[in-house]
Structure 1
């Protein structure tokens, strides 16, 4: 293997984890798709929790819901840190020009804000009910205040509003990616898929 081959493979291995002008690296791809899956799990277990029978099944659903929410928060923090250290690839040019870039950036900021908002509201809701917050089943953080039914109902409404807004915006985000792929025929969707850098 000569020097140029060695440099090529070193560059290729390095680019698998980091972003390039052509696509997202493995780390941001993993965090993106993991977050998407966890959002679906958290939304489903939160929305249909009443369908589970009371007792062990409902307690398991609540545990999955809370664990998914906390994992989303950790993944979001890691994503933001990675984004600061490894900027994303430039947006793909489209016939709609700069205003679409701005709309896409605004949608991303709204998604980040809703991710934070829904998790924080969920934690506050747990405390407002007077319940301890189980952190991955490893330890519990006791509620800093006594149960307050009226406050918990208000927080639950906010939590559900944020969660449904997040699902709506995530759906819009997915449709926009498909429009980029099938209508604009650019690499916006492809560059977030595994193997895109190969």
Structure 2
């Protein structure tokens, strides 16, 4: 009986840690946004994906919600590059001005296939940006590759337009196929 209680307690601790990690990745608190992104890029470089990391040397203090959104979007985009794009090279570019953080992740892979429907990961990237009043666009070039471009307003925590439950449900059922144009652009 005691063994069962210990196992349940351990499982509960594991679940709590997973929930806390999902709320705010510990790497953001331990390393800051730039170093956490650099570490994530290094992970994929060790797997053979050459990623250029183009960011300012330092960032001013950012709202926590913007840091988490930027990190999670970059994480998902790089995961897509590594697992789906068949790319050899990628770029993570981050810049900032007084009002907005800009994030761009590009690759030289096969691009998004024509007729592709948005999956959970792409939808989550859009949702993270739009919750903060920002945007996430994905383009496919005629010569291949994909570009994810994100804008996150720095005043986002004060001005965020949170979609209603009905709007969110409608977005969950909508899909945006990529057409056959030389550059397919869709905002998700």
User: Given the two structures, how large is their TM-score scaled by the length of structure 2?
Assistant: 0.26
Higher strand share: 2
When Rg is computed on C-alpha atoms for both structures, the one with the higher figure is 1
Higher helix share: 1
User: Given the two structures, how large is their TM-score scaled by the length of structure 1?
Assistant: 0.25
